[in-house]
Amino acid sequence: MRRIARFAALCIVSGGLILASQIAGCARQSRVIRCRTSGSEHWNPPKPWRKWHRRRPPALSYLELIPGCKAQGEALPLVVALHGIGDGAERTSEFFDDFPISARVILPLGPLQVSGGRGWSRHRMLDGKPEALNRDLDARASELARLIAYVYQREPSLGAPIVIGFSQGAALALALAKNHPGAAGEIYPVAGALPETARFTNESANRAGSPRPPTIRASPTIRAMNGARDSIIPLDYALRTARAMRQNGYDIALRVFPEARHTMSYPMHWVSRAWITAAVERAYRAGPPPDRPKSSPARSASRDFVLH
């Protein structure tokens, strides 16, 4: 009987140790981020490779980083992330912390000192000077189009360039789509809009020598988001921009978050990350341009506006 009792006790202890080991293993697994690359999988992705590229104005300086498991010299999708007014490239790079898939992320630095940080214009959406803001955004959009074409030609790239921007960075992304529709394949503006005086003309985009990566279609797909309680970029401005772009032939949809203000709220953060991740995966599937050698959406409380 004593042997049976000791055996039963040993089984209980062993079972407890096994269960504890399984729980600890699950806990460890829940803390790591899966790093997906083209055709391979890894755990615990390394810290992003990063490098500053300082360029003489009017060329834009930029921070380059590669999250995930790929190396700097490999062919990668190109993602361009645009900071808001009074912010900068370093803080915007935090959006890509633990990003689950490798890409070449370019974070241009606004050329102007504004509000303790950098900006694309010293004018704001509600300061009563829409013409001045529109001129600045148009000028920055041309500089950004040249930067995208420069990096796309210089580095081995996959698919079409992807652009995301927040606030004034989102306005710049929309200005890029308006003036240089061939510069990017997909654009994701967050909490941004165009000034009310923005004019839709393709003269600058169609003129000879307009910066444009090869093999990119005539205009980008635009998926925007805005908070219904945003007092800096009111929802009416975002809706007006989306309708105007739809009327001018753009493929655009606007997602509205009822409780969000002028910030990257938790739901907006994860939806936008899901959108960019899916865009990068599409770029991997698209592969390199023909002239180059090879070297599930998050859900939240929101309303989708389909604009006709």
Task: State the amino acid at position 70 in one-letter form.
Answer: K
* Per-residue pLDDT tens digits for 278-307: 999 999 999 987 665 454 333 333 333 333
With b meaning 16 or more CB within 10 Å and e meaning fewer, what string describes 264-283?
bbebbeebbbebbbebbbbb
* Per-residue pLDDT tens digits for 103-114: 999 999 999 999
Return the closest-CA partner of residue 260 out of 282, 227, 231, 301: 227
Cβ pair 146, 184 in contact under 8 A = no
pLDDT of residue 2: 53
pTM of the model: 0.78
Distance CA 157, CA 278 (A): 17
Distance CA 303, CA 268 (A): 12
Distance CA 89, CA 118 (A): 9
Q: Where are the domains of the chain?
A: 45-305
Task: State the amino acid at position 136 in one-letter form.
Answer: D
Joined tokens for residue 297: 């959406």
Cβ pair 271, 225 in contact under 8 A = yes
Q: Find residue 189's DSSP bridge partners.
A: 165
Joined tokens for residue 173: 């992304």
Looking at CATH, the fold of the domain delimited by 45-305 is given as Rossmann fold (3.40.50)
Considering only CA atoms, give the Rg of the chain: 23
Q: Which residues of the chain have pLDDT under 70?
A: 1-46, 201-218, 290-308
Cβ pair 205, 181 in contact under 8 A = yes
Task: State the amino acid at position 260 in one-letter form.
Answer: A
pLDDT of residue 141: 97
The 3-state DSSP class for residue 284 equals: helix
Longest CA–CA span in the chain (Å) reads: 95
pLDDT of residue 47: 73
pLDDT of residue 201: 67
* Per-residue pLDDT tens digits for 64-112: 999 887 777 889 999 999 999 999 999 999 999 888 889 999 999 999 9
